[in-house]
Amino acid sequence: MELLRKWLGHPEDIYNLLRFKMGGYRAVMPRIDPDSLGRGLRTCYRYLNQTSRSFAAVIQALDGELRHAVCIFYLVLRALDTIEDDMTISLDVKVPMLHEFHSYLYQPEWKYMESKEKDRQVLEDFPTISMEFRNLSKVYQDVISDICHKMGVGMAEFLEKKVDSQHEWDKYCHYVAGLVGIGLSRLFSASELEDPIVGQDTELANSMGLFLQKTNIIRDYLEDQLEGREFWPREVWSRYAKKLSDLAKPENIDMAVQCLNELITNALHHVPDVLTYLSRLKNQSVFNFCAIPQVMAIATLSACYNNKQVFRGVVKIRKGQAVTLMMDATNIQAVKAIMYQYVEEIYQKIPSTDPSCNKTQQVIASIRAMSLPSSPVVSRHHYSPIYLSCAMLLAALSWQYLSTISKATEEYVQAGEN
């Protein structure tokens, strides 16, 4: 019944979950016919689905040859990331591999059979991935190889190095996510689906990646602590605790939340760049691909802001909320309205005693200036009394059915959770 109570408070979630399940997802994430692909590409898309269902869904929605280029780009970086994550590989072996990994793209027989990671199949069958890489147009190959090289060097740098300063936090996020944004942007322009400026403006593309990565790092504090990982910058958390792990202690919760709010304020500084970037996109499939993760991120930051639960468990946006965002974020005005809504939610939660209070208000003011609706908007959704009554009746009659179908949307909404 808890699920029913949640949906009764958000009738638009019921409507969009049903619309999504009954075929609405095809407008946002159409699937490709595997029979139309050669054996190698078919294998690559199978690996894509096995390693990340959410990315598989959004990648397959891209237009034309860009779809295959992004699929291969993802698998190459997944293979690189698998090497970085594998703690069974000694540093004297791992560091040279990370530095040289881009060269393996041009070695038809190269593969690695000793990984213990769950995604090791992308290393064990790397010859199939590298073959499809070499089948891409040279313009795509050059982008993927260059980003792979830079990311490998960056990963090696941070293997034994903790994130101390905010500058290093930006640098780490650049290596693991900003470079992905830059690489994708260059692929978009190379496909000619987008203007050259999209791929040339690396500052905006970097911000797209940093906003997503910082959101993940902020949200995943407790999970990372439990697994022995630390990504919050010491320069920030050391003002609130002696050790990063101390923030999870109940007696430190007030200081922990203040630290959390400061990091969220830092992440919000990327939103103006995100809006500028998205405003330049012309192709609908590229826009959807880029916009959906960004609106998921702002909704996640709103849920995390001033929230003690970040230090006690998992903070996630509702599945119905995620589906609503996916269905809505199809044009720049809609994205601006979504950004406006969630920064307003954050603004309403800013404690007057919070040390970052003024900075948070300032960055929200800059986002408001870019996303302010042209006419007064109370909510992005207006529902008449009769609609609300019908929605509640529908929920009361079919909440158990909806509970079942919501699981079917899991693979589509995980993009907002990963």
The secondary structure of residue 178, as a DSSP letter, is I
Spatial separation of the C-alpha atoms in residues 72 and 260, rounded to whole Å: 36
The residue behind tokens 């096995």 is: 50
Neighbours of 26 (CB within 10 A): 11
| 106 is known as an active-site residue | no
Radius of gyration of the chain (CA): 22
The residue behind tokens 């500052």 is: 203
| 229 is known as an active-site residue | yes
- Residues 163, 232: contact at Cβ < 8 Å? yes
Spatial separation of the C-alpha atoms in residues 103 and 171, rounded to whole Å: 24
Cα-to-chain-centroid distance, residue 285: 17
Spatial separation of the C-alpha atoms in residues 227 and 143, rounded to whole Å: 33
Q: Where are the alpha helices (DSSP H) in 136-219?
A: 138-157, 166-173, 179-190, 196-200, 202-219
211, 289, 342, 412: the catalytic one is: 289
5, 42, 229, 239: the catalytic one is: 229
| 289 is known as an active-site residue | yes
172, 175, 188, 342: the catalytic one is: 172
Contacts of 8 (CB under 8 A, 6+ apart): 392, 395
Contacts of 198 (CB under 8 A, 6+ apart): 185, 188, 189, 205, 277, 280, 281
| 234 is known as an active-site residue | no
3-state secondary structure 229-298: CCCCCHHHHCCCCCCHHHHHCHHHHHHHHHHHHHHHHHHHCCHHHHHHHHHCCCCHHHHHHHHHHHHHHH
67, 78, 219, 318: the catalytic one is: 219
Instruction: List the catalytic residues.
Output: 172, 219, 229, 289
